[in-house]
A and B are shown apart, each in its own frame.
Chain A
Amino acid sequence: MAARLRSLRRGIYLYFRLLGQEMKSILAYRADFIVLLIAAVLVQLVGLAFIGIIFTRIPNIQGWTFWQVVMMYSLIFITEGVGSLFFEGTWWLSWLIYSGEFDQVMVRPVSPMVQVLASKVGFNGLGNIVTGSLLLVVSLTHVSVNWTPVGLLMVLILLVSGATIRVALNLGTAALSFWIKSPHSNVPMFVHQLGEFGKYPITIYSVGVQAVIVLVIPFAFVSFYPTAYVFDQANWALAGWLTPLVAIYCLVMAATLFRRGMRRYESSGN
């Protein structure tokens, strides 16, 4: 147990060291980095303007108010930002496998998963996290509830769960490259793009679409269920408590896929 804990601590330490190196190389191109940040903020402002304009015409969408939809948006953006800023490496995995560069990852005395996760930094994520967080805080002030430390802790748990689900989806679908073996596997991007459905209350979709984003690719637990829970705990208590469980489930599945895949990795040779 103590040994496992030590290796976990070492893994986290090395992850941040590797990520730090990657960040330095990006900061060298300062103009690029600023352009990316501004672009990420612009995308969010445009999204916000879109729902803002819609709500000038109608009071609510099936009972969901402006600030509730803003919170769903903000959760999608923050979790996307966390994925880009800290775990961009998952997008690199298919290339590592295809090109045979994964050999290098295998021979180093550091957890392969740590190396993959820390191998890239997407600085646009910072813009997403900052503006997304601002939107989240503002939308939370429109919840008619007396905030207690426990309540705020639950918001934090829901946020971390949402980010975990998205990173796990990225990692799990990227790990399919161990089987697919093509230079650019499209599965992760396909799944990632389904996030579009997470920006709106799931009640607007047909049963089929709802089934997909609740059961198969659980984006509903990233944005909709956390929002419903925070705004209306009486009716959505179950959804709130299920969210962390779904996150754990996704993470375990992703890690299993990654480990299974690694076992069947054979180098493409150089």
Chain B
Amino acid sequence: MGTVPHMRKYFAIARASFEVVFVYRAGFALNMFGTVLYVVAMFYLWQTIFLGKAGALGAFSWPQMKAYLLVAFLTNSLMTWFDEGDMGRDIRMGRIATDLTRPIDFQAKRFADAIGPLPVELSSALLVGAVVVFAFGGIAAPPDPVHAALFVVSTALATLLKFAIVYCVSMTAFWTTGMVGIRVGRTAIQNLLSGAMIPLAFFPDWLRSVAAVLPFQGLVSTPALTYLGQMDGPTTALMIGVQAVWAVALLFAGRALWRRAIKAVTIHGG
């Protein structure tokens, strides 16, 4: 992967994948629309809760909660183009055979595929987010530029981590054709344990301990709490470190799974 000519290959793949988004723009918009409706419903729900409370809920004020929901929306909107379905289709239709004959790293190719649409995802999420924020009267800003910068780092790591998780899960495609169910199940667990639906601080103790030992909290909770500056300096550094460790560990786990899976593969036609 290291040398520059190699990088160019993957860049070409990423660019092709970026262009594909424009071909399937209706599908992309629809995906986005689902997330938007969800976040709008959440804004109304939490608004009602906070206005009824007349004050803070735990460590959150209403402007902070709005910021939390928005960060959750942003991180959920990134890296959505690549999911378990792609791998399932490629294996079922025998397209995987072509990938095996190419002189490219399989995981790196998938990553290039997944990251191509990122500029579109990011800009549309920021645009939609700005509209929602405007409609609901503004959000809390990060406490200082350092936290803002760390938030960007944490969001980038969250995106890498999401790829690593989805890549690992998608390896099940070598053993089952039920990828829709796998994706829906993974999304459900991820939405709860990442803190996307509700901050982990609100969880009962036992569930919070479960979330703490799993990688999902790095997807939403860590970037959101970094943005808000709700963790002290050492904790912030630790949590971002945990994100990075999970991302790297799962990327390697994905490679190990792939090597095992490839021995089990039977190619139909193609």
Contacts and interface: CB of A to CB of B under 8 A. Distances in A.
Given A40-B184, A196-B37, A50 B192 contact: yes
A207 interface: no
A205 interface: yes
Interface residues of A, number: 40
Given A50-B192, A200-B44, A43 B197 contact: no
Contacts of B53: 58
What 10 A-B pairs come out closest when comparing CB atoms? A32-B178, A35-B181, A35-B178, A39-B185, A36-B181, A39-B184, A204-B48, A39-B181, A42-B188, A43-B188
Interface stretch (B27-35, B110-118, B138-146): B27-35
Interface string B43-54: 011011100110
Interface of B: 26-27, 29-30, 33-34, 37-38, 40-41, 44-45, 47-49, 52-53, 57-58, 176-178, 180-182, 184-185, 188-189, 191-192, 197-198, 202-204, 207
Given A49-B192, A53-B198, A32 B177 contact: yes
Interface of A: 29, 31-40, 42-43, 45-46, 49-50, 53-54, 56-58, 61-62, 124, 182, 184, 186, 189-190, 193-194, 196-197, 199-200, 204-206, 209
23 contacts: A31-B178, A32-B176, A35-B176, A35-B182, A36-B178, A36-B180, A38-B185, A39-B181, A39-B182, A40-B184, A45-B188, A50-B192, A50-B198, A53-B202, A54-B49, A56-B202, A186-B26, A186-B29, A189-B34, A190-B30, A190-B33, A200-B44, A209-B40
A132 to B, nearest CB: 15
With most chain B CB atoms within 10 A of its CB, the pick from A29, A189, A204 is A204
B38 A196 contact: yes
B177 A197 contact: no
Contacts of A38: 181, 185
A53 B188 contact: no
Nearest to A204: B48
Contacts of B185: 35, 38-39, 42-43
A57 B58 contact: yes
A61 B52 contact: yes
B178 A33 contact: yes
Given A38-B181, A200-B45, A184 B176 contact: no
A62 B45 CA distance: 10
Contacts of A209: 40, 44
B184 A124 contact: yes
A53 B178 CA distance: 31
A37 B53 CA distance: 38
Given A186-B26, A196-B37, A205-B44, A42 B189 contact: yes
A31 B175 CA distance: 10
A197 B41 contact: yes
Nearest to B187: A43
